[in-house]
């Protein structure tokens, strides 16, 4: 591996410039901005490394880039995505979201942490391997989609259509990084997701609010409807919502006890006085990894500018995500939500559906997990902390669990301060180079696992 | 009056052009845009007519333009304002809000109905009087402020400071127009107002919504807090809120019965299936004129753009107006709101205060009201419908009621389709010329009343 690390060092400036060019290109799936151009960057990058590349596209979807290279007894699937979250609120960025800027060893840009950094460092690691070790000792199939941040809306259908491209001995997930206390991590699962927008309709146009005596106000309708979804004690009050939850296994709970706690780091970073219900330590971690959520991600109605404006809004909108755990079914959650709203007298409230994903879990003792553990130990000088699942979501169910493919995270730049999905998203460049070295070790470890 | 009407006809194009120039100039009080320039247009217009003009300014306030002209046994105070509501949402305007556009006899522009049209037609009516009748038969004092749309935040202090400028025998209020069934109207009162913004605070920045398991969400806090303010049956649940309400008098209720009903016109125009609680007719009108309100005018938190974004918002905001009736005290409403939120466990929710105004009522048989009735009958060929009060708000309490000055509306361009405070605000130009003729008749009638 000395040659491998030396190659990274020798090419650091070029790799850095390539990363900057990649994040400078917007690719905002929710807003349909820059998707084709970004897919093309990924495609040509894979081709330049000698991969066989297919640009695959379901009707209405942005392209999935599928690239294969190397051969050997094992096949590794690498899942990443080239789309990013919307950059709003723009005014909260210290430097513009699509002008990558280095400050104090951190590179700031929308998508640099989620997921363009990891995607690029893995491509660059393969380049470094080929340049220093010759052929790859295994088959690598890159599956790189462009709709992850909108719930991978077409990926389930894609995985059915192209099932033969997905079969593999293990999958490297898009994520990878460190705990808030700086220990490297491995995650072997992901929560599911059901994202909806609730819309309450009122008068034909925003009225003078003097008419509030007699005209039903959609902002009040929405408030009252939301209030029935989750009570102030945090209980999600939709009938049946909790019915299908598979409780954590003994192995899950044992893994939990080996995870170092980081309550103080989180409280300080987020500047909050306490967690919900004053949860702490293991209890908090258990809820965090194994409980579903119902979150208001956005609210908008009427006048939202400076000062006062006296209007009765024509519409009111709430964006809501439900994070799901095994064995919850996102389609069933939508049905339960509709039935609940109807039953509570809110049949007038429209539900618009966005992404839906099932939760997924992998065997935490699978060869791909053991190989990543060994690679982490070589690259970081310490064993990883193993999480049975992320609290976050991805299309791990259709990509991995549906095929029985074990999955691991790792070889990524995550750390507590990334601010993914938020303004001033960033990575630490030292993490970038360490993750690239880890990726090299992982190729070697998984080939022989 | 033939000469007066002929003068208007002869100068119609110039008057129209002057109105367009006036509404083309933005004057958005809530956003501090164009206030000084607009005040200057008003000042110079009054000076050109020969008025003595004072530009009066309290610390931190935009100018009040005070212009006096004419002499006689009676003094008339005319209250208007040169500021307008914010034009947002811009995309809902068919033509831009500050590019006045004539379509089908209607002039579209922000502020053309509220209140720049009425202000300009009254100035032009005085010009027409002077040109055709010589001296005015009474004293007219114009009080023209620039903060009406933000709750006249400095006007109460102004009225104390300049009390000697406000004493008069009657006041012509800014408003005037027709019922939805096209009958001319007179209003002799206004509701009060208490405008607040509630702010719920969460983590230091928008978080990845995976953390919703453990981080309190300000959008939920705000939803739960709002839900305690007003229940789904419309009851405002703040203790003490209804305690000071003065019930409508016998005269109020008698006046109510003479008001023609227009339920169907309103339901059709607003495209709503029914009024709140299926109210109809006189019951609806009684609630509309004599009940207070609690209205969500705006909501904003987290992501409000297209599609989905999975964030846990750092803050959540609700803009709320309370419309008050006599004898409610807006300062007391804020105290009651604070106490209620604290008592309900929402001590963390911040209250930001915007405008506060008391409701006002005038004697509906005062000379100024009778003079306007006679003027309406001359100008429109039918007697006006007399409303004891508007459902809308203005600083009528400090300007009129505090001095015992009777007040009337009239000589204005209001009609059901104005869309004031909303996109595509407009007036019908025929109404503009009719209101100008009414203003001429009113000068004559009030001078001799």
The model's pLDDT over B101-120, given as tens digits with 9 standing for 90+, comes to 999 999 999 999 999 999 99
Contacts of B227 in chain A (CB under 8 A): 223-224, 227
Residue B130, pLDDT > 90, answer yes
Q: Are A192 and A324 in contact (CB under 8 A)?
A: yes
Q: What's residue B421's pLDDT?
A: 87
Q: Which residues pair with B312 in a beta bridge?
A: B207
A308 in B contact zone (CB under 8 Å): yes
Dist CA B228 CA B235 (whole Å):
10
A309 in B contact zone (CB under 8 Å): yes
Q: Which helix (H) or strand (E) holds A332?
A: helix A330-343
- Domains recognised in chain A with CATH numbers: 2-191+359-448 (3.40.630.10), 192-241+292-357 (3.30.70.360)
Candidates A214, A217, A226, A391, partner chain B, best to mutate (most B CBs within 10 A) = A214
Closest C-alpha to A314, from B166, B382, B421: B421
Dist CA A1 CA B34 (whole Å):
67
Chain B residue whose CA is closest to A304: B298
Q: What's residue B17's pLDDT?
A: 98
Dist CA B234 CA B229 (whole Å):
10
Cβ contact A217–B284 (<8 Å)? no
Q: What's residue A151's pLDDT?
A: 84
If DSSP codes are grouped into helix, strand and coil, which group holds residue A30? helix
Stretch B384-398: mean pLDDT, rounded?
Answer: 95
Residue of B214, B272, B321 lying closest to A288 (CB–CB) = B214
Pairing state between β B426-428 and B106-108? antiparallel
Determine what percent of chain A falls in helix, strand and coil, rounding each to the nearest 5.
40, 25, 35
Residue of B272, B299, B305 lying closest to A216 (CB–CB) = B272
Structure tokens at B435: 């209101």
- CB < 8 Å from A in window 41-80 of B: none
B334 in A contact zone (CB under 8 Å): no
Q: What is the DSSP string of A356-381?
A: EE--EE--TTSHHHHHHHHHHHHHHS
Q: How many interface pairs between A and B have CB atoms less than 8 angstroms apart?
A: 322
Contacts of B205 in chain A (CB under 8 A): 92, 270, 419, 422-424
Q: How far is CA B364 from CA A241, B79, B285, in A?
A: 59, 18, 18
Interhelix angle A35-48/A117-133, rounded to 10 degrees, is: 10
- For B393-421, letters b (16+ CB in 10 Å) and e give bbbbbbbbbbeebbbbbbbbbbbbebbbb
* DSSP-assigned letter for residue B188: -
If DSSP codes are grouped into helix, strand and coil, which group holds residue A134? coil
The tens-digit pLDDT sequence of chain A (449 residues) is 589 999 999 999 999 999 999 999 999 999 999 999 999 999 999 999 999 999 999 999 999 999 999 999 999 999 999 999 999 989 999 999 999 999 999 999 999 999 999 999 999 999 999 999 999 999 999 999 999 998 898 999 999 999 999 999 999 999 999 998 899 999 999 999 999 999 999 999 999 999 999 999 999 999 999 999 999 999 999 999 999 999 999 999 999 999 999 999 999 999 999 999 999 999 999 999 999 999 999 999 999 988 888 999 999 999 999 999 999 999 999 999 999 999 999 999 999 999 899 999 999 999 999 999 999 999 999 999 999 999 999 999 999 999 999 999 999 999 999 999 889 999 999 999 999 999 999 999 999 98
The pTM (predicted TM-score) of the whole model is 0.89
ipTM for this prediction = 0.89
Pairing state between β B315-324 and B192-201? antiparallel
- CB < 8 Å from A in window 186-205 of B: 191, 193, 195, 197, 202-205
Q: What's residue B449's pLDDT?
A: 81
Residue of A89, A149, A299 lying closest to B219 (CB–CB) = A299
Contacts of A207 in chain B (CB under 8 A): 270, 421-422
Residue of B210, B284, B307 lying closest to A30 (CB–CB) = B307
Dist CA B93 CA B424 (whole Å):
5
If DSSP codes are grouped into helix, strand and coil, which group holds residue B66? strand
Residue of A272, A309, A354 lying closest to B297 (CB–CB) = A309
Cβ contact A217–B313 (<8 Å)? no
- CB < 8 Å from A in window 92-111 of B: 92
Closest C-alpha to B260, from B185, B325, B209: B185
Interior angle at CA A348, CA A343 and CA A350, nearest 5: 100
Structure tokens at B314: 């750092």
Dist CA A87 CA B206 (whole Å):
11
Residue of B202, B271, B323 lying closest to A210 (CB–CB) = B323
Pairing state between β B385-387 and B185-187? parallel
Q: What's residue A308's pLDDT?
A: 86
Cβ contact A309–B30 (<8 Å)? yes
Dist CA B137 CA B135 (whole Å):
6
Contacts of A212 in chain B (CB under 8 A): 293-295, 321, 323
Token pair 């992982």 in the structure block, residue: A442
Cβ contact B307–A212 (<8 Å)? no
Backbone angles phi, psi at A9, to 5 degrees: -60, -45
Chain B residue whose CA is closest to A356: B308
Closest C-alpha to A92, from A108, A105, A104, A106: A108
């Amino acid at each position: 591996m000395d040659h491998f690390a030396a190659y990274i060092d020798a090419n650091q400036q070029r790799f850095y410039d390539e990363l900057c060019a990649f994040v400078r290109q917007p690719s905002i799936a929710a807003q349909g901005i820059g998707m084709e151009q970004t897919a093309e960057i990924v495609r040509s990058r894979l081709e330049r490394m000698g991969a066989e590349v297919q640009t695959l596209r379901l009707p209405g979807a942005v392209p999935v880039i599928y690239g294969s290279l190397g051969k050997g007894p094992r096949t590794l699937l690498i899942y990443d995505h080239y789309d990013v979250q919307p950059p709003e609120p723009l005014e909260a960025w210290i430097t513009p979201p699509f002008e990558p800027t280095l400050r104090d060893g951190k590179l700031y840009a929308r998508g640099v942490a989620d997921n363009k950094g990891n995607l690029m460092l893995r491509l660059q690691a393969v380049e470094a391997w080929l340049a220093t070790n010759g052929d790859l000792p295994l088959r690598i199939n890159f599956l790189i989609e462009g709709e992850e941040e909108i719930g991978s809306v077409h990926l389930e259908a894609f995985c059915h259509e192209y099932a033969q491209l997905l079969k593999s001995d293990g999958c490297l997930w898009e994520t990878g990084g460190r705990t808030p206390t700086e220990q490297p991590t491995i995650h072997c699962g992901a929560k599911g997701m059901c994202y909806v927008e609730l819309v309450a309709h009122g008068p034909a146009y925003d009225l003078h609010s003097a008419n509030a005596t007699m005209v039903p106000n959609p902002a009040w309708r929405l408030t009252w409807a939301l209030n029935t979804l989750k009570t102030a004690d945090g209980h999600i009050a939709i009938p049946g919502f909790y019915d299908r939850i598979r409780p954590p296994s003994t192995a899950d709970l044992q893994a939990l006890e080996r995870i170092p706690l980081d309550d103080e780091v989180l409280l300080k970073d987020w500047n909050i006085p306490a967690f919900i219900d004053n949860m702490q330590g293991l209890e908090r971690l258990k809820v965090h990894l194994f409980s579903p959520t119902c979150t208001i991600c956005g609210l908008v109605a009427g006048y939202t500018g400076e000062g006062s404006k006296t209007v009765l809004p024509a519409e009111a909108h709430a964006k809501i995500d439900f994070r799901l755990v095994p064995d919850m079914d996102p389609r069933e959650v939508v049905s339960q939500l509709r039935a609940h709203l109807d039953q509570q007298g809110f049949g007038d409230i429209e539900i618009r559906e966005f992404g839906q994903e099932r939760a997924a879990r992998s065997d935490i003792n699978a060869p791909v997990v053991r190989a990543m553990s060994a690679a982490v130990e070589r690259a970081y000088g310490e064993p990883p902390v193993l999480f049975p699942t992320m609290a976050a979501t991805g299309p791990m169910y259709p990509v991995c669990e549906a095929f029985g493919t074990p999955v691991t995270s790792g070889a990524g730049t995550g750390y507590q301060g990334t601010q993914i999905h938020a303004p001033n998203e960033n990575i630490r460049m030292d993490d970038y180079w360490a993750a690239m070295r880890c990726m090299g070790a992982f190729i070697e470890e998984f080939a022989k696992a």
